[in-house]
Amino acid sequence: MKTSKVGEVMTPDVIRASRETPFRDVAELLARHRVSGLPVVDADDKVLGVVSETDLVRRRAAKARRARGGRLRLPEVRRRARVAAAEARAMTAGRLMSTPAITVHPEQRVADAARVMERHHIKRLPVVDEEDRLIGIATRRDLLRVFLRTDEEIRREIIEEVLASALCIPPHSAVVSVRNGTATLEGRVERRSDIPVAVRLSWRVDGVVGVMNSLTFRVDDTRPSGKHPARRIAHHSLPER
The CATH number assigned to the domain with range 6-146 reads 3.10.580.10
Q: Rounded mean pLDDT of 52-70?
A: 65
Provide the residue ranges of all domains of the chain, joining segments of one domain with +: 6-146, 151-232
Kindly report, residue by residue over 78-120, the tens digit of the pLDDT. Answer: 555 554 554 555 589 998 999 999 999 999 999 889 889 988 9
| Ramachandran quadrant class, 69 (left: phi over 0; alpha: psi -120 to 50; beta: rest) | left
* Percent of the chain predicted with pLDDT > 70: 79
> SS3 sequence, 111-142?
HHHHHHHHHHCCCEEEEECCCCEEEEEEEHHH
Average confidence score pLDDT of the chain: 84
pTM: 0.64
Lowest mean pLDDT among 31-40, 192-201, 227-236: 227-236
The CATH number assigned to the domain with range 151-232 reads 3.30.1340.30
pLDDT at 241: 45
Radius of gyration (Cα) for the chain, nearest Å?
A: 26
Name the band, by pLDDT with cuts 50, 70 and 90, for residue 194.
very high
